[in-house]
Amino acid sequence: MTGRIAAIMIVVCAAVAGIAMYYLQVYGYYDELEPQIGYQVATPDGGTARLEIADFQGIDSTSSPLRYRACFQIVGGLPELVDRPHTEPLNAPGWFDCFDAAGIGEDLTTGEARAVMVEENAPWGFDRVMALYPDGRAYVWPQINHCGEKAFDGDPVPADCPPPPAQ
Provide mean pLDDT across the span 19-26.
82
pTM for this predicted structure: 0.84
pLDDT at residue 139 tops 90: yes
Q: What pLDDT score was predicted for residue 10?
A: 92
Query: 3-class secondary structure for 57-120?
Result: EEEECCCCCCCCEEEEEECCCCCCCCECCCCCCCCCCCCCCCCCHHHHHHHHHHCCCEEEEEEC
How large a percentage of the chain has pLDDT more than 90? Answer: 50
pLDDT, mean over the chain:
89
Cβ(83)–Cβ(116) under 8 Å?
A: yes
Are the beta carbons of 101 and 117 closer than 8 angstroms? no
Query: Beta-carbon neighbour count of residue 80 at 10 Å?
Result: 9
